[in-house]
Amino acid sequence: MKKVLFITDSDKQLSGGLKQLYLNAIGLLEKKYQIYLAAKDDAGIYALLQKHISGFLPLDFANYRSDGKKLSSFIKNNKIDIVHTFHNKGHKVGVWAKKYNPEFKLFVNRGVDFVPTNFFYYLNPKIDGYICNSHSVADKLKRIFIPGKKINVLYNAFTLEGDFHENSKNNNIIKSDKPKISTIASGAKWKGFDYTLKSINEVNYDFDFYVLGVDKKDEYMQLLTSDAVKKIHWLGRRKDIIPVLSKMDLFVYTPISGDSCPNVILEAMYAGLPVISTNVGGIPELVKNEKGGMIVKKKDYKSAARSIKLLLKNDEERRNMSAFNKKQIAKYSLERKINGLLEIYNGKNKRENI
Query: Using one digit for the tens of pLDDT, what is the confidence trace for 256-300?
Result: 998 999 999 999 999 999 999 999 999 999 999 999 999 999 999
8 Å CB contact between 117 and 138: no
Instruction: Look at residue 247 and tell me whether its pLDDT is greater than 80.
Output: yes
Measure Cα distances from 170 to 179, 240, 248 in Å. 20, 9, 15
> E strand or H helix at 122, and its extent?
helix 119-122
Q: What is the mean pLDDT of the chain?
A: 93
Q: Give how far Cα 134 sits from Cα of 64, 145, 146, 286, Å.
A: 28, 17, 16, 9
Q: Would you list the DSSP string of 132-190?
A: ESSHHHHHHHHHTT--GGGEEE------S-SSS----S-TTS----S-EEEEE--S-GG
Residue 300: alpha-carbon gap to chain centroid: 23
pTM for the structure as a whole: 0.93
First to last CA, the chain: 31
Task: State the Cα–Cα distance between residues 16 and 243, nearest whole angstrom.
Answer: 19
Q: Give pLDDT, residue 202.
A: 97
What class is the 180-331 domain? alpha beta
Taking a C-beta distance cutoff of 8 angstroms, is the pair 190, 298 a contact?
A: no
> What is the rounded average pLDDT of the residues 9-18?
80
CATH topology of domain 3-157+333-345: Rossmann fold (3.40.50)
- For residue 164, what are the CA distances in angstroms to 16, 23, 33, 157? 11, 10, 22, 13
pLDDT digits (tens, 9 = 90+) for 332-354: 999 999 999 999 999 999 999 98
| Comma-separated ranges of CATH 3.40.50.2000 domains in the chain | 3-157+333-345, 180-331
Residues in the chain: 354
